[in-house]
Amino acid sequence: MKQDSQIIIFDTTLRDGEQSPGASMNKAEKLRIATQLEKLGVNVIEAGFPAASEGDFEAVKKIAQTLKISQVAALCRTNEDDIKKGWEAIKDAAHPRIHTFIATSELHMKYKLSMEPSQVLEQAVKSVKLAASYTDNVEFSAEDGSRSDPPFLCKVFEAVIDAGATTVNLPDTVGYAIPEEFAELVKYVMENTPNMDKAVLSVHCHNDLGLATSNTLAAIKAGARQVEVTINGIGERAGNTSLEEVVMSLATRPNFFPQTTSIVTKRIYPTSRLVSMITGILVQPNRAIVGANAFAHEAGIHQDGVLKNPMTYEIMKPETIGLSKNNLVLGKHSGRHALNSHIQEMGYNLSKEELDLVFQKFKNLADKKKSIQDEDIEALINEGILRSSEVFSLEYIHVLSGNTVFPTASVQLNINGRKAQGATEGNGPIDAVYNIISKLTNTKSELLRFTISALTEGTDAQGEVTVRLQEDGIVALGKGADPDIITASALAYINGLNRLEYLKEHPVVKPENL
């Protein structure tokens, strides 16, 4: 293949990214992210693992029916039932892809699969042939590929390509590889798989040693032409290779990387924000590309240099990733058309009903704040249309607190259409609120994490609260935003409880991690 060819971006935020603790999403949330990924220019979107649950099957099916440009991939184990279920979910896609996998390392074959190498090879070929009978777009992954015997890996890849695989994926499943070592393995596979010219070599790296992006870039230099990534690098354990880091590395260093991508970089930041909102996983401030501090300069000498020439301390422009320094500030006199136009510029296309709901919330917020910025609007969209199916919703909240009274909270909830109210005390106002919500909902979840942050600057900024809840081994994240931090805390807690209810009704069987 030509060294200046375009890199295929395979995004697995909806599958591998969803395996982050508590990051499970419902169908509407997955569809919203998938739609944004298509606008971002992602070539292949791994929509999920259809055999995991009926909920995941329906989500993959809906995404496949909706997207028109990106390929939609379904992950399947190398067995007949998974592949048939996967095809059933994506058969209506404009560009369907079946992605099947099996472990090829001696460690996994012996202790996890209890299979001989010859059996693994036979099962891989059989499954790829079945997948190829449905579509000519088949990907095969060799789980734990970076710890597999290189000659055996090439033997498997040669066989599955002959069986119909058009993409073969080399995963660093446990984040064990070192860039130089991984590059050598990629070169070895390219040179020792006789029919590699008939398929695309892909890599899928994990970040256990903090080397996922480095390994992926090294693989690109060595000849890989597809990279498997997630937005914000989310994923199981330490996460996956970050889409934004790989894409902006290629875009920023064309002298070193002649390869290009189809990604519309101005949509990177809005997509990052959307994924963070829906999953409830905060982006750390010092995260590369999309972190709040990525383009912040505090040192005086840095500020002076940036004012004279931004390139002194910024190797890319904030506008390149969609982080505008001149956001249109909306207020209570802004109309529906102005709001809708700005929402579309942010990357959202809302239906009339959705816009009506967000506009009403926008007007209510505008009565409390002088100006409303992008972060506020994103919170309104999240609150209005990206919520999980609600079993519980907040009707009102009254709190009595201070240094001379015992904190007391009075709350009324809507529980499946039924009103429930009550009051109780706590160690503080938020503790009191959580105590009465727990009592009214009759839930026994444990609060694992509670985080508060401000969405924008100023004393009238909306407070954003993120909680992590656990019940019966199930972990869910909840998020809420409001100018009143106690109300935001209540909304986050209720959102987390709704997510727990959803996960109880839609249990997910997670596949082995690639």
Q: pLDDT-derived band of residue 87, with 50, 70 and 90 as boundaries?
A: very high
Q: Look at the alpha carbons of 181, 208, 103, 49 in this order and tell me if their dihedral is positive or negative.
A: negative
pLDDT per position as a tens digit, 361-420: 888 888 877 677 777 887 787 766 655 558 999 999 999 999 999 999 999 999 999 999
Ramachandran angles phi, psi of 208, nearest 5°? -60, -30
Extents of the domains making up the chain: 8-279, 295-322, 323-385, 392-505
Assigned CATH for 392-505: 3.30.160.270
List pLDDT tens digits, range 429-467.
999 999 999 999 999 999 999 999 887 777 778 888 999
Look-up of token digits 């059996």: 119
**99 has which bridge partners?**
75, 139
Signed CA dihedral, 246, 252, 257, 262: sign only: positive
CA distance 343 to 418: 34
Rounded CA-CA distance 243/370 in Å is: 36
Task: Pull the structure tokens for residue 493.
Answer: 């807690």
Beta-bridge partners for 227: 9, 203
Q: Is 175 helix (H, G, I), strand (E, B) or coil?
A: coil
Least confident range from 214-223, 235-244, 314-323: namely: 314-323
Closest CA relative to residue 39, chosen from 345, 373, 341: 345
The C-alpha atoms of residue 208 and residue 240 are separated, in whole angstroms, by: 9
State the average pLDDT for the chain: 89
- Bridge partners (DSSP) of residue 11 are 45, 229
Q: Which residues have CB under 8 Å from 379's CB, separation 6+?
A: 277, 455, 462, 464, 481
Residue with tokens 């899928």: 204
For residue range 129-180, list pLDDT tens digits in order.
999 999 999 999 999 999 999 999 999 999 999 999 999 999 999 999 999 9
CATH topology of domain 8-279: TIM Barrel (3.20.20)
**pLDDT value of position 330:** 67
User: pTM here?
Assistant: 0.85
